[in-house]
Amino acid sequence: MKIYRATDYQDMSRKAANIISAQIIMKPDCVLGLATGSTPIGIYKQLVEWYKKGDLDFSEVVSVNLDEYRGLPKTNDQSYDYFMRQHLFDLVNIDPANTYLPNGMAEDSEEECLRYERLIQSLGGVDLQLLGMGHNGHIGFNEPGEAFDTMTHCVKLQERTIEANKRFFASADDVPRQAYTMGIGTIMRARKILLVVSGEEKAETLRKALCGPVTPEVPASILQMHNDVTLVGDEAALSWMA
């Protein structure tokens, strides 16, 4: 695992954006696995800035997102589809037809999971998967205890995740109770993984994920078994590392 230590959130965002940017330059028609949440916002901002300066071209890029809430239409401003358009897709020259997320409104959830997994395969797999990490070590919506070999599936959200995400909704009651997520098996198939972690409150979980046993209790710990992971963390998240 390559570890880049960033001074702060902005520096982390710029370093991670550089890695994504290099991927796009080296392979203009790459498949990017993308994430939502607060951590990647600065990365997307930086990518948009470079696109506007003429340094980046998304015209051939394909994207597949990690996850989406079940039951929220794309028009809902808390859907991940909306988030991606707001922070990246509407601001760069990516072809909207090349941007994929699970369909939160699909009637048959099992069918939707299969469709999404097949779609990723038909695109030739993910070249670079961007990942944030939850306070409990979750990646995507794969919560502690989730088996390591799962493919795209529909999960029931844990109370802690509902609590953490309620800041984006009017109340905790409005947070959807289910979500679609790439499984850990899906994530591990990506050719490269870029993990970004910021903030002191995630430092202890990050230490366990990197240095502790590989266990489903810390989903991100599985990344120790992937042969091409880059972590970009800020000082606060990496404070425990000498």
Which residues form the catalytic set?
A: 67, 136, 138, 143
Query: Binding pattern to ligand F6R, positions 2-21, x when CB under 6 A?
Result: --------------------
233 binds ligand F6R (CB under 6 A): no
Q: Where does this chain touch ligand F6R (CB under 6 A) — which range of 1-9, 22-30, 33-41, 100-108?
A: 33-41
Instruction: Spell out the alpha helix ranges (H) of the chain.
Output: 9-26, 41-52, 80-87, 109-122, 159-165, 184-188, 203-211
CB closer to ligand F6R, 67 vs 234: 67
36 binds ligand F6R (CB under 6 A): yes
**Residues with Cβ within 8 Å of residue 241, at least 6 apart in sequence:** 3, 5, 207
Residues in 113-132 at the binding interface with ligand F6R, rule: CB under 6 A? 132
Q: Tell me which residue has tokens 């300066």.
A: 53
Question: Beta 128-131 vs 62-65: how paired, if at all?
Answer: unpaired
239 binds ligand F6R (CB under 6 A): no
Distances 11 to 130, 132, 233 between C-alpha atoms, Å: 16, 16, 9
CB closer to ligand F6R, 26 vs 119: 119
CB closer to ligand F6R, 23 vs 39: 39
Distances 204 to 13, 86, 201, 229 between C-alpha atoms, Å: 21, 32, 7, 19
Q: How far apart are CA 203 and CA 229, in angstroms?
A: 18
Q: How far apart are CA 226 and CA 59, in angstroms?
A: 29
Residues in 51-70 at the binding interface with ligand F6R, rule: CB under 6 A? 66-67
Min separation Cβ 9 and ligand F6R, Å: 11
Min separation Cβ 55 and ligand F6R, Å: 25
DSSP state of 208: H
Measured from each CB, the residue nearest to ligand F6R is: 132
Binding site for ligand F6R (CB under 6 A): 35-39, 66-67, 132-134, 138-140
